A = this chain, B = another copy of it.
C-alpha cells in the first residue's frame, strides 16, 4: 500500500541504528567513475563488510543484472542477491528509510536527486537510484509512505529512536534539496516522517564531503543520550572549525526527552588525499564533477555500521584507527567492534555507513 498518512500520526518511529535489525541492504559497487580499476579493490572490502554483517544479520545486496554472475560468485552463499538497476552503491541514501511500530515495518520513499540535482548533484542521471526505494518496498512486502515531494537521503539524518534527530544545515538547507521550504518546514517534515519531536541542527559535516556534509560522516548516536563526534586534534586543520561548531551545538542541546547529550570525541585520521593512480583508474563520464590529485577525501571514523553483534569501523591505515576503535568499543560493551580498512571504499565518496541500510527488527 502507498500510505497517505504521516508515520508520526500513525505511531511509527525510526529506531536507533543500535536497536535490533532484521537485516541489512547494500548495493554492489559497480559505477565506473566511483570505483577505480573496475572496482576490484572496492569489491574485496565490500565482501568483507558483507561477511562481517552476515555474522549477525541477513544481508541483501542489490546487483545490476549485468553484474549478477560476478557478484553471485564473489559474495558469501548466504547473501541474498536482488537483481535491480542502480546508478551507484549508496544504500544508506536511497534504500528505504524504515520506520516501525510494534511488529509492523514500513518504508519511506524520499525523493533522491544525487545530492543536489541540477544545482550541485554528483551525477547527471539518478533515476535508477530514485527508483530503488519503492522497488525495495515491493520486494520487502512493506507498505510505503510517499514522501517523494521531499528531497532527502538516509545519510542526512540520525535518530536516537526516542524522538531526537540530528542533521546538518549544510545539507538539508542546501539549494539543491528543498529550496522552496523553510528550515521550520523541513524540521516538521523530518519529525512527521520519522516519528520524532526534536531536530538538532549541526552547521556542517566533514570538509569536502560531496553530500553537502551528511551528518552520518561526522556524528552518530551510540545510544540515547550519547553521540560520537569526529574531532581533529590539530586546531589548524580545516575540519577543526566545523567540528568545534558541531560540538558547541551538541553541548548546548538536550534531546527530545529533555536530557543533555554526552559527546564522545573521535580522533580523525591524517588527511587522506586522492592519488594520481587512483584517479587514473576511474572511468569518467562526461560532465561529472572531477576530483584532482591531492584532493582530501572525507575520511571519518564516525561512518561506522552498527550490526546486531558487531560494529564495523572504517580504518585508514592510520595510528588513530585503533584509538577510534577503542573509543567506540567502550560505547558498545555488548558488541564486537572491528576495524576494516576502507581506503578502497572511501575513494568512492563514502564509507561503511553510507553503503548500508538496516531493516529494523519487528517486535
Contact = CB atoms under 8 A, between A and B. Distances in A.
Main secondary structure on chain A at its contact with chain B?
mixed
A134 B109 CA distance: 11
Q: How large is the interface on A (under 10, 10 to 19, 20 to 34, 35 or more residues)?
A: 20 to 34
A85 B1 CA distance: 14
Interface string A184-199: 0000000000000000
A149 interface: yes
A56 interface: no
Q: How many chain copies does the complex carry?
A: 2
A4 B65 contact: yes
Contacts of A133: 134
A146 interface: yes
Nearest to A139: B2
A138 B68 contact: no
A144 B135 contact: yes
Contacts of A64: 149
Nearest to A86: B148
A14 to B, nearest CB: 19
B2 A146 contact: no
Contact of A146 (B1, B85, B141): B85
Contacts of A130: 127, 130-131
A143 B138 contact: yes
Interface of A: 1-2, 4, 64-65, 68, 82-85, 109, 111, 113, 127-128, 130-131, 133-139, 141-144, 146, 148-149
